[in-house]
Amino acid sequence: MQNGIELRIKGKVQGVGFRPFVWLLANRFNLFGDVNNDGQGVLVRFYAPEEKKLTQFLQALQQELPPLAKITALSQRQISASDIPHDEFLIRESENNAMDTQIVPDAATCPDCLRELFDRNNRRYHYPFINCTHCGPRFTIIKAIPYDRPNTSMAAFPFCPQCKNEYQNPADRRFHAQPNACADCGPHIWLSDQTQVLSQYDEAIEQAAQLLKDGKIIAIKGIGGFHLAVDAGNEHAVHTLRQRKHRPSKPLAIMVPNLEYLTALSEAEIRLLSSPAAPIVLLAKDKVPHVAEAIAPRLNEIGVMLPSNPLQHLLLHAVNRPLVMTSANPSGEPPVLKNEDAQSKLAGLADNFLFHNRDILQRADDSLVRAAFDGTETIRRARGYVPDETALAQAIEKPILALGADLKNTFCLARSQRAVVSQHIGDTNNELVKQQLIDNLALFRQIYQFAPQAIAVDCHAGYFTHQRGLALADELQVPYVEVLHHHAHIVSVMAEHNLQGQVIGLALDGIGMGENQQLWGGECLLVDDKTCHHLGGLPAVALPGGDRAAVEPWRNFLAHLQQFVPDWQNWMTRRGIDTNWPLLAKAIERKLNCPPISSAGRLFDAVAFALTLAPHKLSWEGEAACILEAQAARSSFTRQQLDSTNLPELLRNIRMPLKGNQLDLAVFWQAFLTAEGTPEALAFAFHYALAQGLAELAHNMAQQYQCERIVLSGGVWHNQLLRRLCKQALADLQVFSAHAYPMGDGGLSLGQAVIAAAKLQA
């Protein structure tokens, strides 16, 4: 009996046109057999051809992949040919068994669908849900594996005869495209106000475009949630949106119809904007003309994206101008997903609603990235990137569920040599976000058929994620592992770069639980995947009023002055602070609700306030630090090649030298407060002094521990100026920072999972 060959293919191979791709290749090489999807990925069987033909087939299989496909593993074995079709090549029905394949992220409208969308002779002309196997919703419409139409929100829309023919034809671009639909059988759109439907289909797009031109605010249902849209060039309309959303100054993202609305883009920026992920990309303001100043007040960058789905393409084409596209949620709550919730919860925010009737099953916010000097920088990872997997350097023996942090929460599923990090969930101080986290955990476990044998949590016992993790461990009767916050930060970058062994970590953020219940935020650490040793960093300073200090920068200014400046009372008086700061100073002296913390984030707040750049009360996280960086980037120093042997006087005088293994903030503050210079120059001097101090500390530790690899992680490292200055000062060492994941808490769960696995396997 003739032998057969079986190929097991794993990776992003479902929902991307992989089976028709195999079918076409098999016909090209005259192979007989079949292909199907199952929980493991894709299974191909065929009669064994001659060696040369097999080699050619395997080469084509890996070199001519569909746009969204990715093979991560391919194995081959001989089988009996008794059950293989002997006179044709077939595509068999999917099987549902143990899950071991990747789910594909949502992908922006492909060029072929975009051409059809605006082709008057095409039957999908102006159809807002056009898609094919190369684009469209994936992750956001899935509820189970395998990825077939009955397991998606498209199950509610039976095929018309034409769409069914496309779906069943292996030679068609829409073969087994699960969201395939047309105006006759698929979802549709309509425009409404608070009480009634105003228009549908093309008329809804035209009317919505006119309302936007008239300055109205419209809530628009997308792929992973709702947006609030308004004319980005209309100052009054933008201010109205800010007022209604209680968002006085936090930057807003905009969407432009096409790249022609932007200027002087780099190749990297064009590549990111035009990628299938279609993220928000941070661009210099001078590259984004003709938008309101209120979009990103006092900052140097604006978040910009291109349309990522057909509805957005139609609307932007009709309105023909940039639009604000910000998440549609009441202040502090997660974005809404359902039409009825939008109608009720956004009643005070939106004038009108552009709805559709395809359910969103998975929330996915817009991803946020930057084409930085050192490569792509991911600030928020969600739509377009999730749930892509990360290959791990070490195999994980027991499946690990890591719960992440309470702010910018993500969670992570890790097993074998792969990790899947969830989309951005948000800040769990809100009850609705907590519930979304719980719901998403359950859904991921169901989709991935994931049974954790251990739970990883942040060691901060007050975190909701810590408490939820312990409850889940008790419920499942599995062990839990507590992980230091900054250990997880450093190991998340190590996991991304497949680094093993020891590294010197510089972990900078606002706050995280460290050893012996100490609050950390500016640490130099000796780290591997199991251990974390504190080597030095910023000195601990009082955090007056606890969490209130994170939103009132003057409190941090007071704490730093009181600790490091002899005549600090004079500086407080000179600064003209209209609060009862003497009372707070006494609380600091008596250590009343003023825990010590070595926080880089709070240092940035204090410096920004010293330069009168920060308000008394912040309206969004990181506001003071972002304004401080923007000011520093405007300094003439940023355009100079700084030579350490011939530095400008201001940079020579303002320093953070080492005092033992800590940066000496007394030397810094006493020089900084008396220095003469513009706010821009002084802001740059602070960045330069901090970078040089950290680099000196890292050099010393690298030499002491014979370790040439430096890892930067923690949210403060999203400061591009600080990162560039520090990397320049460490140019003689190997320096790593995150690219695929956020350096802030959004990447934390990946590090937690790797650490927990290493500790359990030790």
Residue 754's SS3 state is helix
Paired tokens of 620 = 């969004």
Alpha-carbon distances of 712 from 90, 485, 717, 720, rounded to whole Å: 51, 14, 7, 12
d(CA 365, CA 425): 9
Which of 3, 8, 19, 124 is the catalytic position? 19
What does residue 55 show for φ and ψ, rounded to 5 degrees? -60, -45
Indicate the burial class of 125 (C-beta count within 10 angstroms; 0-12, 13-18, 19 or more).
middle
Which of 8, 28, 30, 37 is the catalytic position? 37
d(CA 475, CA 464): 16
Indicate the burial class of 143 (C-beta count within 10 angstroms; 0-12, 13-18, 19 or more).
middle
Estimate the crossing angle of helix 553-564 against helix 568-575, to 10 degrees: 150
Indicate the burial class of 42 (C-beta count within 10 angstroms; 0-12, 13-18, 19 or more).
buried
Alpha-carbon distances of 186 from 114, 127, 197, 198, rounded to whole Å: 18, 10, 19, 20
**Quick one: DSSP state of residue 441?**
H
Residue 420's SS3 state is strand
CA 512 to chain centre: 20
Q: Tell me the H-state helices in 295-450.
A: 310-319, 339-345, 431-447
d(CA 743, CA 735): 14
Paired tokens of 19 = 């089976």
Burial 453-471 (b: 16+ CB within 10 A, else e): bbbbbbbbeebbbbebbbe
Q: Which residue has the tokens 């030095």?
A: 536
Paired tokens of 692 = 């040089």
**Quick one: DSSP state of residue 636?**
G
Paired tokens of 230 = 């308004």
Paired tokens of 564 = 């490091």
- Find the Cα–Cα–Cα–Cα dihedral 555, 559, 561, 563, rounded to 10°: 180
Strands (E), 357-461: 368-372, 375-380, 389-402, 412-421, 454-458
Is the Cβ–Cβ distance between 526 and 544 less than 8 Å? no
Q: Is 37 a catalytic residue?
A: yes
Residues assigned a catalytic role = 19, 37
